Amino acid sequence: MRDLKHLIYFENLLQEANNDLVKQAKAEGKRAIGYTCYFMPEVLLDLPGCFSVRLRAPRCTSPDIATYYMSARVCHYARSLLERALEGGFNFLDAQMATETCTATCRFQEHLQQKHLDSVKDMRIIDNDDFFCNFIDVPFKNNQIAYEHYRDQLRAHVLGGLEEHFGIDTSDAAIMAAIEQQNEVSRLINEIGDYRKLDNPTITGYEFHVIQLVSLVCPKYLILPYLRETAEEMKTREPDQKKEFRCKVVLAGSENDDPDFTKLVESCGARVVCDRYCYGSVESRQIIEVKDGEDPLMAVARHYLTTSNCPRFMPQDEMRARKQRIAELAKEYHADGVIIASNKFCEYWSYERVIDTVILKRDFGLPVCSIEKEYINSASGQLRTRFQAFVESVEIKHIQEGK
Amino acid sequence: MKCKFGKTLLKLLGIGLVLNVGLFCVFFFDLDGKLLFKVVEPFLKNHYDNMERKDTLKAPYEIDKFPKYSYDS
Amino acid sequence: MAKNIKKALRDFWYGKPHTAEEGGRRLGDLHEDKTHLYKHREWRGVKDTMYYFYMIWLYNYIFMVKDVMVMGGLVNFAKGVWRYRWVGQTYLPVLHWFDRGLEGMRGEAMKASAWHYRAMVSTTIRQFQRMFAADTRLHGGKQNDLYKHTIAHNETVWGGVFYPWDGEIQNVPLEMIPYFVTCHVNSHTVLNYIDAVQSIGLPGDPCPMCQAESGIFVLDDVPDYAPAVVTCNEACDASVSTSTLQDWFFDKPLFSLPMPMIFDDPLVKKYCAREIEELWKFVEQQYNIPFSWDKLVKKLELQNELQRFEWEKWEVAGKTDYYPVNGVAQALYRIYQTQYGDWEIWHVTDKKVRKILEKCVSKKINSFPQTRHRVIAWSCAPLYYSNWCTWAYNCWGLNVIINMDSLMFDMTIRTDSYENTLEDMAQYHLWAPMRRMAVGGMKHMFELWEYMEKFNCDMVAMYDQLQCKGVQGLHGLFEDEFRDRNAKAFWIPHALPDSRTVSRAEIRRLINDYMTTVMHEEPLDPSLLDFDDSMTW
């Protein structure tokens, strides 16, 4: 396939958190607001006057100081973020909007909080006098009570914080503008992502992963022109005559902001056609709908709780339904199997992976490759062997089924 | 009558004393612990290890079996 | 010669003295190697040995049988023992659990601590007997009346939320007896469950407590004793996920009672209260028995009595040297009582303990006369070695005055109006075990300093649960603080129920090292420094 015009530019934007577009937005006087989890609605951090940056720590392979603070028995992702913060890599942030949605990232974000306790010293990790960090409580359920609680949390701690510290306009009109902007990003990402549903997709999983990530880590208003151009470019992109893959897979699981991991999967013959993991597009790029007369903040709250498939959701119907959703995605994207990847020390996905591995295979007939990985994949040799074996098993299944 | 009562009492006291001394020996020399550790636990462990158990991974997982238990909506 | 006879007589009458200088009792020599069974039990002097023999050993054996007979009967018990490993393999050596916790104790400390143990045994029997009496598996698949009036719940759901159905629906936690209490009594059993869940693909790194809780289900070792389940997200991410796995295998109507994590926020309390009301509606719907406000109030007031006595105990523990409860009895009784909720046996026990406490205060009896350091134990304790503090006192004079688990539910609940009651219940629920301080906002973890001062402690035993992400994530900050404050603190690494990760001997070695190399102190009883108890319960 012809190279995508902006792919190298996009790849460069992912090399560090404080990338060129972030610098440009900061130079234009915008406030940079960091976050880690889907449950912190990025749309509210993209209100006029500020922009969201979903935190990553690319190329962080040995988080030594963070390991002193968080021990070696905590997820590599959280430690890498702390290491990057300690190195000064997040000093551009004006605020961190935090969630206690997994323990490890909670602890990372608590290290960033400044001057908030007498009982423990202030580490002043983010060297920025304006910096503050607010936490919200995110419900474990998606019922009406939860929507209202979540809305109240967002109003008090996110909008309240932005207004109080930076004078950000948090009116309904401003929220509507941010929703509009986010919906445009989502429409473009979905348009580009839909090419993965073709029999011979005209975009690789790696390329899509890169594009999805830049939409999370760059100011929306600055990345939009590039996304528009890429969507346009995709309309005429021709696939390779000979398929460059041997099977298609849904990649599901825990936090994954490493496009090289997707590249590794694809180098073993499996085309990643769907990204159902934290930082993926399945949830984050759904269109936010505001019903007639509805409070836009309530719409945002409802949207994030109803679209998430996070294994931290606890209602019984929800625990069970999310297995079916993965099967439905496999059908929608014409995938031959599912790779379930959990980060080491991620407790949610360790369990969810065990159940998915049994249920998807047994009840939905989907081949499943179940793996545990690191944030940055140093053990690529072992993973390569696992993926190659999985691809072969899918091929054998096809032969047996006479496909 | 009195003598019979006295004898029974003495007998009971004797039994009580023997029982007390016997139990105290069990207590002091930890005979209960030794019996439990060396005989009872290995026996039960063997029983549990060889028990037939169902394969729980074959348990059904019906997606729509239960409704959403939410009332305040 | 005469001196020797005099000493022998004195030792016989009063028991040998504690310290090596006084010709010490050498408790380490009482045990067999590896199994740690007694060659013979300890001679504590005539009075205390007889008390231990009659009022602890014999009394508890007799009352265990009586409890079993009264609470469900011998037949159900026998069936249960034959069917479930966790009861058969675990609960028979319960008197050795007493021995481990009460070793070396004398006088009032021995008595008060033993009453705490007795209450826990009784409550445990009551729960497993209810499970067996209602269990469809032990009754040919029949759902009897007891089954229809029992509700199962995650062990970390506070039993108090079921008070409105007191006497009509019995709540029995799913894991408290099959898993949690077993680890203290016989640490062998739980290993089967941890291995079982790892055998289906779960990695070894999630919290081992949650692994064990899931493993009981994987190994098909859970009685089927209730038509519905209530679960929650306490205490951590793994607990949430455990619920998912349990739901699969239990396959019953399940209500999730979430506990908001950032719980200082008043908005959070409001949300939590609404979820408790949702739970009540679920129970009414599932059991068709109406909510009773009167029952709720009555039980809460009884629970408040327990809390008020606990405050009195803390007052004595913090301000005097006359507190007669040892570290392990304090920790286990308190967490059991507060988590399970009000029950008659707690009141009976508190009454007996109150008498002892009052005696100690009025007569100025120091039950721990060899105390060198007053220790606060912080974070979650090793379940397989909860009696480490008994060893630490005997060996080093480290007297664990209070621990984190005891301090979590530090409140009474108002009963003057529905709104106030609900608000306080929400607060209580939010301060769940292993939760208030261990996960959620770190502010609470660092309340350590405040409590250290309140209980007049000069040393910290910092538990280092190797697989608890909440505590591990603050490891370095604690190190920094200990250094900056020049605090005397040692770490106790462990993996909650899994005695294979960090052995008891390793824990002792770390404390020994700290006491010799940092504190430059000599042991009170050198026979306890190094011994092999690798095979013990």
Tokens matching residue C476: 């370095």
Per-residue confidence band for C63, with pLDDT thresholds at 50, 70 and 90: very high
Nearest chain C residue to B56 by CA distance is: C218
For residues A22 and A56, what is the distance between their CA atoms, to the nearest angstrom? 13
Q: Are A127 and A93 in contact (CB under 8 A)?
A: no
Classified as helix, coil or strand, A350 is helix
Strand, helix or coil for residue A122: coil
- Domain assignment of residue B27, yes or no: yes
Confidence of residue C440 (pLDDT cuts 50, 70, 90): confident
pLDDT for residue B73: 62
User: Which of C349, C24, C475 lies closest to A104, judged by CA?
Assistant: C475
A141: chain B residues, CB-CB within 8 Å = 70
Q: Which of residues 216-235 of C touch A (CB under 8 A)?
A: 231-233
Q: What is the mean pLDDT of each run of 10 residues along chain B (73 residues)?
A: 84 94 97 96 95 94 94 76
For residue A331, give both structure tokens.
Answer: 């059908």
Task: Report the distance separating Cα C261 and Cα A139, nearest Å.
Answer: 9
What number is the ipTM of this complex? 0.94
Task: Mark yes or no for CB contact C89/B48 under 8 Å.
Answer: yes
Interface test with C, best of B44, B54, B66 (most C CBs within 10 A): B44
Question: Is B15 within a domain?
Answer: yes
C-alpha A320/C-alpha A313 separation (Å) is: 10
d(CA A181, CA C459): 56
Residues 294-353 on A with a CB inside 8 Å of C are 311-312, 314-316, 319-320, 342, 344-348, 350-353
Evaluated on CA atoms C131, C137, C143, C144, the torsion sign reads negative
Probe site for chain C from A111, A138, A140, A357 (most C CB atoms < 10 A)? A140
Mean pLDDT of C106-110: 97
What are the pLDDT digits (tens) for C462-495?
A: 999 999 999 999 999 999 999 999 999 999 999 9
Do the Cβ atoms of A321 and B72 come within 8 Å? Answer: no
**How high is the mean pLDDT in each 10-residue block of chain A (403 residues)?**
95 97 98 97 98 94 93 95 96 97 94 86 91 95 95 98 98 98 98 97 98 98 98 95 94 96 96 97 97 96 96 95 96 98 95 96 97 83 94 94 80
Identify the pLDDT of residue C433.
63
Q: Quick check: is B22 in a domain?
A: yes
Above 80 in pLDDT, residue C460? yes
CA distance A117 to C442: 9
pLDDT, tens digit (0-9, with 9 covering 90-100), for C281-314: 999 999 999 999 999 999 999 999 999 999 999 9
User: Closest to A359 (Cβ–Cβ): which among B61, B68, B73?
Assistant: B61
Interfacial B residues in 1-60 facing C (CB < 8 Å): 23-24, 27-30, 32-34, 36-37, 40-41, 44-45, 47-48, 53-54, 56-57, 59-60
Q: How far apart are CA C406 and CA C323, in angstroms?
A: 15
Distance CA B41, CA B30 (A): 15
- Please check whether residue B29 lies inside any domain of the structure: yes
The tally of domains found in chain B comes to: 1
What percentage of chain C reaches a pLDDT higher than 70? 99
* Alpha-carbon torsion (C351, C352, C357, C358), positive or negative: positive
Beta bridge partners of C463: C492
Q: Is residue B55 part of a domain?
A: no
Using an 8 Å CB-CB cutoff, list chain B residues near C277. Answer: 72
pTM of the predicted model, to two decimals?
0.95
Q: Does C399 touch chain B (CB under 8 A)?
A: no
Establish if B54 belongs to a structural domain.
no
C26 Cβ contact list (under 8 Å, min separation 6): C16, C525, C526, C527
Question: Which residues from C are below 8 Å from A148, CB to CB?
Answer: 271
For residue A303, what are the CA distances in angstroms to A151, A219, A290, A329, C267? 11, 21, 9, 19, 21
Share of chain C above pLDDT 90, in %: 90
Task: Give yes or no for residue C450 having a pLDDT over 90.
Answer: yes
Taking CB atoms and an 8 Å cutoff, what residues of chain A touch C209? Answer: none
The neighbours of chain C, by the rule of 3 or more Cβ pairs under 8 Å, are A, B
Amino acid identity of residue A61, one-letter, is: T
The pair phi, psi for residue A368, each rounded to 5°, is -130, 135
Residue C4's pLDDT band, with cuts at 50, 70 and 90, is confident
Among candidates C267, C442, C477 on the partner chain, residue whose Cβ is nearest the Cβ of A156 = C267
pLDDT value of position C434:
65
Per-residue model confidence as pLDDT tens digits over C172-220 = 999 999 999 999 999 999 999 999 999 999 999 999 999 999 999 999 9
- Rounded to 5 degrees, φ, ψ at A51 are -145, 155
What domain range includes position B27? 2-49
- For A100-140, the pLDDT digits (tens) are 999 999 999 999 998 778 888 888 999 999 999 999 999 99
Q: Is residue B65 part of a domain?
A: no
Q: Is C32 exposed, middle or buried (0-12, 13-18, 19+ CB in 10 A)?
A: middle
Could you check whether the bond before residue C235 is cis, i.e. omega within 30 degrees of 0? yes
- For chain A, how far is it from start to end, CA to CA, in angstroms? 26
Between positions 35 and 64 of B, the ones with CB within 8 A of A are: 57, 61-64
Unique residue bearing structure tokens 């060889």:
B50
* Residue C443 sits at the chain A interface (C-beta within 8 Å): yes
Question: Is B26 a domain residue?
Answer: yes
